[in-house]
Amino acid sequence: MADPDEQEAERPTLRETAAKKTRAVTSATTDVMLDAFDKVIGSIDSVATQQQQKAAAKEEKAAAKQERKAEEKAEKAAAKQERKAAKERDPDPPRQP
């Protein structure tokens, strides 16, 4: 049978066992935290991308609306000029009393 003192020397101390468990837990916790951070960052990026797409769509819509208004204004101005030119070419005949 082995000497009890030799068995005691081969057995890890409580401190060594606790240190090994702490390292294992710390490593696992670090992995979990890194995964969580990656997910959060991915989520933030996704939301930011969605917001950018919404803003771009809104800007495009506003630009199209502004362009339509400018075209309508130009058409009205052209029609007014045309009426004015037609009036100058063909003045109203004198009215008969």
Q: What is the mean pLDDT of each run of 10 residues along the chain (97 residues)?
A: 57 80 81 92 94 96 96 95 85 62
Query: Where along the chain do its domains lie?
Result: 13-88
The two tokens of residue 37 are 């951070």
pLDDT at 79: 93
pLDDT at 4: 56
The two tokens of residue 7 are 């068995």
Q: Which of 36, 40, 37 is nearest to 48 (CA)?
A: 40
pLDDT at 89: 79
pLDDT at 18: 80
CA distance 32 to 54: 33
pTM for the structure as a whole: 0.49
